[in-house]
Structures are given as structure tokens and as C-alpha cells.
Amino acid sequence: MILRRLGWIGASCSLVFALAAPSCFAAGLKVALVLDKGGKDDKSFNSAAFRGVTQAKEELGISLKYVEATDDNAFESLLRAFAQKKFDLIIAVGVSQADAVKKVAPKFPEQKFAIVDAEVDLPNVRSLIFEEHEGSFLVGAIAGLTSKTGTIGFIGGMDIPLIRRFEMGYVAGAKQVNPKIKLKSNFIGITGDAWHNPAKAKELAIAQYSGGADVIFAAAGASNGGLFDAAEELKKLAIGVDSNQNWIKPGYILTSMLKRVDTAVYDVCKDTQSGKFSSGIKRFGLASTGVDYAVDEFNEKLLPPAVREKVEKLKADIIAGKIKVPDYYQKKK
Amino acid sequence: MDGYFGIALALIASTLRVSTPLLFASLGGLVSERSGVVNIALEGMMLVGAFGAAVVALSSGSPWLGAAAGAAAGLVFAVFYALIVIQLRADQIVAGTAMNMLAAGATPFLSKILYDSTGSTPGLPIDARFQFAPVVLAWAFVLLVWLWIAYTPSGMWLRFAGEKPEALEAAGVRVNRVRWTSVMLSGALAGIGGASLSIFLASSFSRNMTAGRGFMALAALIFGKWKPFPTAVACLLFGFADALQIRLQGVILWGTEPVPVQFIQILPYLATILVLAGLVGRSRAPRALGLPFRKP
């Protein structure tokens, strides 16, 4: 008997979670945030989104409910549950929620949706797209200027177009400053587990470092920690992703490729509150500082002024259209 | 260091590291399954162990205390499992699955209470982590478990509990008491396996960090015919395939384009299927595996 009950609890836990979560009665705009598997403390992509809504909560007085989907199949029911509870704005974080948003949003035309990293063409959905290749280009240039061995590394979570876009921009940036640079590139896995497998990321990093790479850029969600451990143990350099990760291992993290999901998410809350919500695709590139590289007290010493000047020059050239950064999405089309 | 020798050395070191959590977990599985209790809850036990180890290593600064805490956490978790499947005679597959879900949900929950962070525990400084010790420890445990099962009276009870529980009971040994002990020991071993993930191969606990290793360990156990040394060799083989796979990615084997990453990444699994299907021969499970014991 107990067993049967246990199994039932297991099977229905995501549903219960979904129904229990949106149950607050605060005034102001009601915003729901659906995070993907990484969870709000992945120190990376989801963390950035969570910072954005937290800022909106503090500054705009919105009421916020968030939930971390532990399973890709939960997205649709979570989004629907929030919509049924009459949340004004529902923000879906991550490319894996695209199909769920496409299904749920048309059924609730009065409510607004936003999705990060995917294009969903519906009248009540705003798609927040980041020009990852531009930011990656800059950290690639930094890697190229910093590397002494002439070999740099890249570690991606899964071999998907989004991550290939990071890689392509990164290589192009490094080649821009050092045409002879060599790249070692690895991917962690073929399932969603790749985003939370730091042990595997560490092995990949050790293999790349011992193969001659001295700077490695990883775009692998919560697995990034494995790269940072390897950098610390072997006294090499790493580059973080999405959020500013410089603080995690000061002295070993050269810089971080910033993806300002926080600003984009904050803006959509603000626009919705002031009745200025607009659907369609919002692109965040270097020009709008939607992507960037991080400089703070933790990595100042690793980035000499000469390097910073060159990178700033490249940044200006990209914004001015003088340099065209290759985009994996365009290549596919 | 360069050249083939260096590459071979790096490959061996990598294989030993990667296979360490698998070794502990599959030994845990072995102890439980030889006593007649199916243990697909290994994944959950590892996860709980990884969490406990990270918490204690962080607060005490000692990886050894961390590993002990990992074992303790796995053991406590296993007590629940034993209660459900031995005492209450629940179906072991279903209960094991439920335990895995419980671990996946409980660890971020506890992490939230302790550190206000659902994703991962705070990073461990380098001297609160292991550098090499778990690799040696794992092989010491393989030896110990083998000696225990093959040469001691209690090892024989273990085997009988899994093969002919009625005979063991008739000889005056309480079958369920033997099974309780083995399941708890199994939890402790899998817990150390988890600890070797969070405080040896990584530097913190992060959510679902076991990433299917508990199930890999089970496969190694079946592959190794429920015997300590063959199982350990199976773990090594999995570790080797993984380490090799890391080094084959992006290598140009023919033509101008490297082999697609996805293809390289399925190699460990492909190797597993081929070896299981062709080379091992019949792998026979303990006769009473999965059957709850009721006193006649």
C-alpha cells in the first residue's frame, strides 16, 4: 500500500508542484518565471534571469513566483498552471521551453509571455534573443591575445546550434587577433545531463590543458564549475559564461562572456507594467550591451591595458559594422 | 611527457579517475544484490552521499570527514529503502525508482535550507578536496569485498540470502537481518561513490550531478556477473571508453572533417552493448534476487 502511494507521489509530484506554486495574493503585476533544469542557482544562465526578476520585484514592486522545472516534460503544465492562475506575464527561460510556449500562449491571448533564447512568433509572446556570437568573439579575442601556447580550448554542453554559435564566434575572435591559433573543442554529452556534469567537464578540461591549451572557454551551464576546478589545479586560465563568473575562482578566470538575460527580463517586466509590452523578437547584441565581456576586481590583473584596448577597438568595429562576426544560425539557413 | 607515452599515461590517469565513483557504486550494488535485494536506488544513494560529503567537507575542511559523512548519508538513505523493500516487502524496482526521485528532490531542498541555493553547495577550497586518495580507496574496497564474500562466514550468509534464503533461514540465520545489513552497507558504499564525485572529481555538490552514473554502475555489475573483480574491470572499461571518447572528439580520422561528436559520444554505450551481447556470455543473477523473503 505504502509503495503504491509512494509511486503515485513520484509520478504526480511535478503536477502538485505546479498547482501549489502560484498561490500568492499580492498587488501589482503578477509575474511568473519558469526556469529550466539548471535552477536559479546555476551561477550562469538561469541565475541571470532570476536576478532580472528579483530586481524588478525590488524596484517595480511586481509580485513574483518562480519555479524550477526538474524535467523537460513539466514545462507545458507549469506554463499552463501559471496562465490559469491569471499571471500577467509568464517568462520561460531556455530554448527547451519553445514548444511549450508555442502550445500554451495561443490559449491565453490576454496574458503576456516572454521566452529567452528561442523565437516564438505569436502576438502575445516576446522572444528575447541574444547575439552570443558577438560576445563570444570578444572573449575569443581575449583568449587569442592571452594564450602563450597558441592553442585555446572550447567546451560546450551539448552539440546544439546554440552552443555551436558560441564556438564559432569564439574561434573567429581568436583568429582575428592571431590567425595561426589552434582550437581544441569538446562537448560534454548528448543528453540534458551534460548541463550538470562538472566531473566530465573537468576531465575534458584536463585533457585540453595537457594537450597544450592554456585558455579554455566553456558554455556548459552548471558544468562550468568542472572547468574552473581544472584551471585552479593546473594553474591555467578559464573563461566563464552567461553570468559574470569571475568571482568563482579569482585569478584563474580570465573573463566571462556576459549574456544580459537579467536586463532583458527586467525590461520585459517594466514594459508590461507600464502597458508597453510589445511582441516579436528583441535582439540583444554588443550595441545594446546585451552581450559583453566582464571586467571586475577579480580579473583586472589578468587583463593588461593593451589587451583591453584591442578588445574595445574590436567591439567598436563590430558595433560600427566594420567586422562581421560569423553567425552559426545564418550559416544553417 | 610528450608523445605516445604521455598520452597513454594521461589516458590511464583519466580512466582511473572517471571509474572511481562507478567502482564504489557498483560494489554497493553488488553487496545488496548478492543478498537478494535489487538496488536501482544506487543513483539516489550516490546523490545523497555526494551532498552529505560536500556539506561536511565544506564545514570541517577535511575531505576524510566529508567522505565519512557521504557514507553516513548513503547509509541513512538506505535504511529507508531497506524498510520499504525488506520490512514492507514492496516491489524493489518501483521503490528504487521512488527513492531516486526522492533524492533528486530532497538534495536541492536541503541545499536551499542550508545555503539558500538550490543549484549547488558553495565551492570547496582545494585542501578540502581529495587529490588522489579515492582511487586507491576504491581498489582497496574491491579487494575487501572480494575477500569478505569469498572467505568469511558472513560473506557466505550474504550469498545464501541471495541464492537460497530458505536454506539460510533453516540453518538458523535470519535472512532479513543479513539483507538489512547488506542494503545499509550498499548505501554507505554508494554514498562514498557520490562523495568521490562531489569532493574529488568536482568541488561542490551540484544538482543531479550523478548524471546517470548509478545506472552505469548497475550495468557494470551485470556485466561483471555480480562478482567483485569482473565488476571492477567492467567499471574500468566504462571509464576507459569515456576517457578515450574525450580524446577522440574532434580528431580527424579520415577525410577532412572530424567524426561527428554525437557519434564519438555513443561509443561507450555502443561498446557496452557489444560486450554485453557478445563477449561476456551468460550473466546469471542471484536466484532469489528481487524476491522479498517471508518466513516459512
Q: How far is CA B273 from the centre of its chain?
A: 20
Interface residue A232 vs chain B (CB under 8 A): yes
Cβ distance A33 to A49 under 8 Å? yes
Please tell me the number of Cα atoms within 13 Å of B254 on its side-chain side. Answer: 0
Q: State residue A190's pLDDT score.
A: 83
Q: How far apart are CA A221 and CA A194, in angstroms?
A: 9
pLDDT at B242: 85
Q: Cβ contacts (< 8 Å) between B135 and chain A: which residues?
A: none
B70 in any annotated domain: yes
Give the mean model confidence (pLDDT) for residues A14-18.
Answer: 44
Check pLDDT > 70 for residue A23.
no
Predicted structure pTM score: 0.84
The C-alpha cell 526521485 sits at B101
Q: Which residues contact B269 (CB under 8 A, 6 or more apart)?
A: none
B9 pLDDT tier (thresholds 50, 70, 90):
confident
CA distance A13 to B3: 53
CB distance B108–A39 less than 8 Å? yes
Q: What are phi and psi of B173, to 5 degrees?
A: -105, 135
Look at B261 and A159 and tell me if their CB atoms are within 8 Å: yes
Q: Shortest CA distance to B212 belongs to which of B27, B46, B5, B35?
A: B46
Whole-number percent of chain A with pLDDT over 70: 91
Residue B225 lies in a domain: no
Q: How far is CA B44 from the centre of its chain?
A: 10
Closest chain A residue by Cα to residue B102: A10
Q: In this structure, what are the phi and psi dihedrals at residue A10, rounded to the nearest 5 degrees? A: -60, -45
Q: Tell if the CB–CB gap between A229 and B203 is shorter than 8 Å.
A: yes
Over residues B240-251, the mean pLDDT reads: 82
pLDDT above 80 (res B252): no
CA dist., res. A259 & res. A286, Å (int): 10
A247 pLDDT exceeds 50? yes
- Using the beta-carbon criterion (under 8 Å), do B203 and A225 form an inter-chain contact? yes
Q: A106 to chain B, minimum CA–CA distance in Å? A: 32
Q: How far is CA A251 from the centre of its chain?
A: 23
Residue B185 within a domain: yes
pLDDT in tens, A295-320: 999 999 999 999 999 999 999 999 99
A residues 300-319 closer than 8 Å to B (CB)? none
Rounded Cα gap, residues A97 and A73, in angstroms: 9
Strand partners, A239: A217, A255
Q: How many helices (H) and strands (E) does chain A have?
A: 11, 12
Higher pLDDT, residue A4 or B122: B122
| ipTM of model | 0.84
More confident residue, A26 or B146: B146
- Per-residue pLDDT, averaged over B96-123, amounts to 90
Residue A43, strand partner residues:
none
Q: In what order do the strands lie in the sheet with A63-68?
A: A63-68, A30-35, A89-93, A112-116, A125-130, A280-284
For chain A, say whether B61 makes contact (Cβ under 8 Å): no
* Predicted pLDDT at A332: 58
CB spacing of A2 vs B84 below 8 angstroms: yes
Distance CA A119, CA B261 (A): 26
pLDDT of residue A39: 80
Phi-psi region of A129 (alpha: psi -120 to 50; beta: other; left: phi over 0): beta
* A164 close to B (CB below 8 A): no
B184/B195 Cα distance (integer angstroms):
16
Q: Pairing relation of β-strands A30-35 and A63-68?
A: parallel
- Please give the residue that has the higher pLDDT: either A6 or B6: B6
Q: Give B16's contacts in chain A (Cβ within 8 Å).
A: none
Nearest CA in chain A to B100: A10
- Residue indicated by cell numbers 572499461: B237
Angular region, A321: left φ>0, alpha ψ -120 to 50, beta rest: left
Task: Report how far residue A181's alpha carbon sits from residue B176's, in angstroms, rounded to the nearest whole number.
Answer: 64
Contact residues, chain B, for A3 at CB < 8 Å: 84, 88, 90-91, 94-95, 98
- Domain residues for the domain of B164 are 21-219
B116 located within any domain: yes
Residue B72 is assigned to a structural domain of this protein: yes
Task: State the pLDDT at residue B40.
Answer: 94
Query: What pLDDT is recorded for position B280?
Result: 67
Rounded to the nearest angstrom, the minimum Cα separation between B118 and chain A is: 6
Residues 6+ apart with CB under 8 A from A223: A155, A157, A188, A194, A195, A196, A197, A198, A200, A201
| The pLDDT of residue A12 is above 70 | no
Inter-residue contact B293 to B176 (CB < 8 Å): yes
Q: A165 pLDDT exceeds 50?
A: yes
Q: What is the pLDDT of residue A333?
A: 53
Contacts of B90 in chain A (CB under 8 A): 2-3, 6
Closest among A132, A216, A142, A140 to A172, alpha carbons compared: A140
Q: Which of B94, B102, B211 sits opposite A193 (nearest CB)?
A: B211
Do the domain assignments include residue B118? yes
Q: Which amino acid is at B48?
A: V
A127 and A281 Cβ atoms separated by less than 8 Å: yes
Contact status, residue B40 vs residue B100, Cβ threshold 8 Å: yes
Over 60: is that where the pLDDT of A19 sits?
no
Parallel, antiparallel, or unpaired for β A215-219 and A151-158?
parallel
Using CA coordinates, name the residue in chain B closest to A227: B202
Q: How far is B95 from chain A (nearest CA, A)?
A: 7
Query: So what's the pLDDT on residue B29?
Result: 97
Question: Percent of chain A having pLDDT more than 90?
Answer: 77
Between chain A and chain B, the number of residue pairs with CB atoms below 8 A apart is 127
Whether pLDDT at A128 is above 80: yes
Residue B265 and residue A187: Cβ atoms within 8 Å?
yes
Question: What Å distances lie between residue B4 and A186, B7, B11, CA to CA?
Answer: 21, 5, 10
Position B46 in a domain:
yes
Determine the average pLDDT of the residues in A63-70.
89
CA nearest to A186, candidates B175, B25, B14, B97: B14
> Is the residue at B121 inside a domain?
yes
pLDDT of residue A21: 42
- In DSSP terms, A10 is beta-bridged to none
Q: Which of A311, A267, A261, A254 is nearest to A130 (CA)?
A: A261
Chain B partners within 8 Å of A46 (Cβ):
119
* pLDDT at res. B90: 93
Arithmetic mean of pLDDT over chain A? 89
Number of domains in chain B: 1
Q: What pLDDT score does B100 carry?
A: 95
- Top-confidence residue, B243 or B262: B243
- Banded pLDDT at A13 (limits 50, 70, 90): very low
Residues of A in contact with B262 (CB under 8 A): 159, 190
If one compares B46 and B132, the residue with the highest pLDDT of the two is B46
Q: Is A200 exposed, middle or buried (0-12, 13-18, 19+ CB in 10 A)?
A: buried
Q: Which of B263, B281, B35, B30 is nearest to B141 (CA)?
A: B30
Rounded to 5 degrees, what are φ and ψ at A111? -100, 155
Q: Write out chain B residues lying below 8 Å of A70, CB-based.
A: 104-105
Closest CB from A37, A41, A184 relative to B120: A41
Please say whether the beta carbons of A291 and A284 come within 8 A. yes
Distance linking the first and last C-alpha atoms of chain B: 65
**Chain A hits for B266, Cβ within 8 Å:** 190
Helix intervals (H) in A25-152: 45-60, 75-84, 98-104, 132-146
Nearest residue to B30 (alpha-carbon basis) of B293, B226, B252, B233: B226
